[in-house]
Amino acid sequence: MSHQDLVTEFTEHYMEKLFYFCLKRTGSGEEAENLAQDIALNILTALHNGIVPCHFSAWVWQIARNRYSAWADQKHRQAETIVTSDISDYELSDDSTLVLDELIHSEELSLLRRELAFINRDYRDIIVAYYIENRNIRDIAESLSLSNDAVKKRLQRARITLKEGMNMAREFGAKSYNPERVSFSASGPQPSGLPWSAVQRSIPKNILLQASNNPSTVEELSMELGIALPYMEEEVTLLHKATLLEKTGDKYFTNFVILSKECRLDIYNALRRCSKKRSQLLRELLTDILPDIRTLGIAKDTIDDNSIYWWLIPYSIDHFLVQTAKSSNEKCSEPPHRANGEKWGFVGYEQIELPENTNISHDGNGSKTCCFVQYRYPDYSLWNRCIHPSYEISLLLGDCITKKRKFSSFSTCESELWSAIDDKIAHIDNSGNIILDILVIDKKNEKEVKKRIEEHKNYTVLLHYFQEAYEEVKTIFLGYNHEILHKHIGYNIFMELYHTRMMAVHDLVDTGFLKVPEDPDTSTVGMYLWLQ
């Protein structure tokens, strides 16, 4: 974009968003206007000085966060000055009766009670004792094992917080994300039920969204979300135990990435930029190696080439991504280890209508030595299909293949299991043999498939394309996410790179190379049995 195009883009698409960004953080319309103007001035000045950022959206929001941090630091210093220099102006004598001083004299008791829910317990107990229980400073100090001066200082700080809160027209639940517009995705084994059990209600979702890229104290979360402090303390503790919130000092932050609409669009565009070139090179590679793959015996003669391609396209890309992970500087391309001993990842996505749906699922059921696995495609009616075998059925299929069992050897229980898959992903031939109508891949022939891929003339250039995509997505993540999230950035990058699988499927369907099954409901494309 030219300099003028960037200025137009900013003024037309970012000014309103900046104001609400500032309003959410300042809680004041006037303060939000001033802060938004300051941010806009910094951005426009930089553009007029000739700066042309590579990732415009990420650059804009980084400036916004930096200017907000400077504003917050200044407000904090001002507040500290008031507290330390003017305490004596407002102190009440020890034997004062219950009289609301000039700071909160004119406010209704209901407002006072409301605001008490939002301040720290140490201050809340003193306010309640002094104003509501009608106790004097000396008595409060003795009951809390504090000095009189300590009680006076806490009382003064609590007054300032109360006054600010009672003057604020609270907008409960105001936040940068709408929980109903955010979805989550998990990967890795989750025997404890986490993380899903922790995000079934709106309150924990709101907390995670508020603390995303925004380290906050419990008090700040309470104020922002309009949730009484005692309840907030409990919710934050639960999320911390669930390993979805981390703590640094007195601030909590969401320890997984939640991708905004802007971030998702930037990533999509980066991955799509060279997708057609990757798909053409991949088409050439797959066409050349298919005859060799046929000789490995992973597919019966009754399974056509097109069905093999539906598996081989995402599988090949997965292999390229594994090799990209090995060549990257990031140490963690797998789900992070959790405090409870589990190993799973969690990602949030703000909903956005992207030009295409690219979320292929790769899931399975079984054991480490025998597992039914499938790629599930979000388009062409190929997501929910003929069957999703249970753990027991997966093991039965593996036993049939490895031991070459006949149907006549089945127990009553095995026969009942078989009835759920008969003529769907397997059948019985005239001799009573069990014949699988899906691919069968073991460790040996999987190694040979990878070897064929790596020996092809297109392998090096394809790997280079995926490495370039990795670096582009990494740059985007660094621009959008707080540095405290960077330690798991490798995992997040690869979660996004997996979207290149469906981009390739779309490309190759569009060119006619890949054929959509005539009856998607009964199709077994993308399904296979994996054996150790």
> Is the CB of residue 421 less than 8 Å from the CB of residue 387?
yes
Q: Are 476 and 58 in contact (CB under 8 A)?
A: yes
Tell which phi-psi region holds residue 193, choosing left (phi > 0), alpha (psi between -120 and 50) or beta: left
Q: In whole angstroms, what is the distance from residue 511 CA to residue 280 CA?
A: 10
Give residue 128's pLDDT band: very low, low, confident or very high (50, 70, 90): confident
First to last CA, the chain: 53
pLDDT at 29: 67
Integer Cα distance of 170 and 224 in angstroms: 9
Global pTM? 0.66
What is residue 329's predicted lDDT score, i.e. its pLDDT?
A: 65
Encoding tokens for residue 301?
Answer: 């003669």
Going by their DSSP bridges, the two strands 345-350 and 182-187 should be labelled as antiparallel
Pick from 386, 437, 389, 393: nearest CA to 415: 393
Q: What percent of the chain has pLDDT over 70?
A: 85
Instruction: Please write the tens of the pLDDT for every residue from 488-515.
Output: 788 889 899 999 999 999 999 999 999 9
Contact 513, 482 (CB under 8 A): no
Residues forming a β-bridge with 349: 183, 259
- Indicate whether 388 pLDDT > 90: no
Comparing 110-124, 138-152, 499-513, the range with the smallest average pLDDT is 110-124
Inform me whether the pLDDT recorded for 391 exceeds 80.
Answer: yes
Task: Supply φ then ψ for residue 459, to 5 degrees.
Answer: -60, -50
CA angle 410, 414, 417 (to 5 degrees): 140
Cα(252)–Cα(232) distance, integer angstroms: 12
User: Can you give the pLDDT at residue 105?
Assistant: 40
Contacts of 11 (CB under 8 A, 6+ apart): none
The identity of residue 394, as a single letter, is S
Residue written as tokens 């565009």? 269
Residues in the chain: 532
pLDDT at 96: 34
What span, in angstroms and rounded, lies between the C-alpha atoms of 388 and 375? 11
Determine the Cα–Cα distance for residues 217 and 66; give it in Å rounded to an integer.
19
Which residue reads 């790596």 in tokens? 454
Q: Which residue has the tokens 């149907």?
A: 407
Sheet holding 182-187, edge to edge: 182-187, 345-350, 258-259
Mean pLDDT of 196-219: 88
Given this model, what pLDDT does residue 81 score?
Answer: 45
Residue 109 has pLDDT above 70, yes or no: no
Kindly give the interhelix angle for 56-85 and 459-480, rounded to the nearest 10 degrees.
Answer: 30
Domains of the chain listed by start with CATH number: 3-85 (1.10.1740), 87-166 (1.10.10.10), 179-256 (1.10.10.10), 261-335+356-531 (no CATH)
Closest CA relative to residue 282, chosen from 524, 501, 517, 516:
501
Give the CA dihedral 140, 146, 150, 151, nearest 10 degrees.
-10
Judge contact between 515 and 357, C-beta under 8 A.
no
Question: pLDDT value at position 158?
Answer: 76
User: Within a 13 Å sphere around the CA of 45, how many CA atoms are in the beta-carbon half?
Assistant: 7
Is residue 282's pLDDT more than 50?
A: yes
Q: What is the mean pLDDT of the chain?
A: 83
**Given its phi and psi angles, is residue 297 left (phi above 0), alpha (psi -120 to 50 degrees) or beta?**
left
pLDDT at 487: 78
Instruction: Read off the pLDDT of each residue in 153-172 and give the average, rounded to a whole number.
Output: 63
Tens digit of each residue's pLDDT (9 = 90 or more) over 16-29: 778 777 877 776 66
Is it the case that residue 177 has pLDDT exceeding 90? no
Classify burial at 31, counting beta carbons within 10 Å of its beta carbon; exposed 0-12, middle 13-18, buried 19 or more. middle
- Burial status of residue 504 (CB atoms within 10 A of its CB: 0-12, 13-18, 19 or more): buried
Cα–Cα–Cα angle for 239, 244, 245, nearest 5°?
70
pLDDT of residue 377: 95
Pairwise CA distance, residues 242 & 197, whole Å: 9
Find which of 8-22, 157-171, 176-190, 302-316 is predicted with most confidence, using mean pLDDT.
302-316
Q: Percent helix, strand and coil across the chain, each rounded to 5?
A: 55, 10, 30
* Cα–Cα distance, 66 to 513 (Å, whole number): 49
Return the higher-pLDDT residue of 106 and 330: 330
Q: What gap in Å lies between CA 210 and CA 172, rounded to an integer? A: 12
Which of residues 89 and 445 earns the better pLDDT score?
A: 445
* Tokens encoding 49: 């000085």
- Cα separation of 308 and 299, whole Å? 8
From the number of C-beta atoms within 10 Å of its C-beta (0-12, 13-18, 19+), residue 205 rates as buried
What angle (nearest 5°) sits at the alpha carbon of residue 105, between those of residues 100 and 110?
Answer: 90
* Contact (Cβ atoms closer than 8 angstroms) between residue 90 and residue 103: yes
- Output the six-digit token pair for 427: 């059948």
**For residue 119, is pLDDT > 90?**
no
Calpha distance 373→389 (Å, rounded): 9
pLDDT for residue 103: 35
What is the CA 182 to chain-centroid distance, rounded? 9
Rounded to whole angstroms, how far apart are CA atoms 285 and 452?
Answer: 9
Q: What is the DSSP letter of 368?
A: S
Amino acid at 150: A
Which string of DSSP letters, residue by residue, matches 10-53?
Answer: HHHHTHHHHHHHHHHHH--HHHHHHHHHHHHHHHHHHHHTT---
